[in-house]
Amino acid sequence: MHKRTLGKSGLEVSALGFGCMGMSFGFGPPKDRQEMISILRTAVERGITFFDTAEVYGPFINEELVGEALAPVRDRVVIATKFGFDTSVDPRGTKGAPVLNSRPEHIRQVAEASLKRLKTEVIDLFYQHRVDPDVPIEEVAGAVKTLIQEGKVRHFGLSEAGVGTIRRAHAVQPVAALQSEYSLWWRKPETEVIPALEELGIGFVPFSPLGKGFLTGKIDESTSFDSTDFRNVLPRFTPEARKANQALVDLLGTIAARKNATPAQIALAWLLARKPWIVPIPGTTKLERLDENIGAVSLELSAEDLHEIEQAAARIDVQGARYPEKLEQLTGR
């Protein structure tokens, strides 16, 4: 497995990380705990060293799962988790947007609780999950800086933050990585965010690099999701939008056939080719998908391949907002 360094932070991780959320949260009921532990440990054996979780996934059960799975190999892995939601309120925000809380005292409480659940003495990368407009980002960065000085956290990260916020936070405590959605069907970060990250020396960790499963080619307009699957409320996943967006999957499939690869591998290889400090974190609950994702790391896309993808993708107008309005309002602040 190739390694990458997240910006100028010195934080070295596998070129591909592992997003653990779907094992416990978001995509239907929690999966079998022992099976998930086995997959996470297999991922480490295959060379993945970067694992992503959050207190809000469950809440809490995903951190507990990750903590148990990785405890025997803790010295070989980098664990990222997140703060910023009030978990005493509905974390899914099904009655509206989730409630934010990034007050410094709350950040400390979350850190202490996450350390216990993760069975570790230090959090390698601690992200603010969403920017809290009620707490100046300087106070947030300062709170994490104190935790870093105390040895409880190693690196500070932001998620779905806007460029102004990134700059202000970085001035107080260097930001190691930004985690935001980025893929062939959500390219908004290219406009302002990626140039700013490059300028500041901040790594980029794209979540949903496979479009929440859509870019794998395994989902079409007739696919039905479990009633607890949050894709049911995403405008981009209405049957009409899925039908319209099939053109993007067809493009990946055409290139995949020529490369003896899968659409998912092309989508991941495209991301890896964008910048050497980009580390996607696809999630999976299946061993065969883990191996498929890892296969993308050694897949070389030529300049001609990338140009072809660019030209074809430019002609495809992706349909549907990625989030309902109340959730979209939590991003880009």
Identify the active-site residue in 57, 127, 182, 323: 57
pLDDT tens for the chain, 333 residues long, are 999 999 999 999 999 999 999 999 999 999 999 999 999 999 999 999 999 999 999 999 999 999 999 999 999 999 999 999 999 887 666 566 789 999 999 999 999 999 999 999 999 999 999 999 999 999 999 999 999 999 999 999 999 999 999 999 999 999 999 999 999 999 999 999 999 999 999 999 999 999 999 999 999 999 999 999 999 999 999 999 999 999 999 999 999 999 999 999 999 999 999 999 999 999 999 999 999 999 999 999 999 999 999 999 999 999 999 999 999 999 999
- Give the count of beta carbons closer than 10 Å to the beta carbon of residue 254: 15
Q: Which residues pair with 12 in a beta bridge?
A: 5
Q: Where are the beta strands (DSSP E) in 182-218?
A: 203-207
Closest residue by Cα to residue 210 from 296, 330, 130, 125: 296
CATH class of 3-210+271-299: alpha beta
**pTM of this prediction?**
0.97
User: Catalytic residue at 182?
Assistant: no
Domain ranges for the chain: 3-210+271-299
Neighbours of 257 (CB within 10 A): 12
Residues in Cβ contact with 116 at an 8 Å cutoff, skipping those fewer than 6 apart: none
Count CB atoms within 10 A of the CB of residue 149.
10
DSSP 285: S
Residue 320 structure tokens: 């549907």
Nearest to 86 by CA among 36, 139, 19, 132: 132
Q: Report residue 134 CA to chain centroid gap.
A: 24
Contact indicator for 203, 193 with CB cutoff of 8 Å: no
Q: How far apart are the first and last CA of the chain?
A: 35
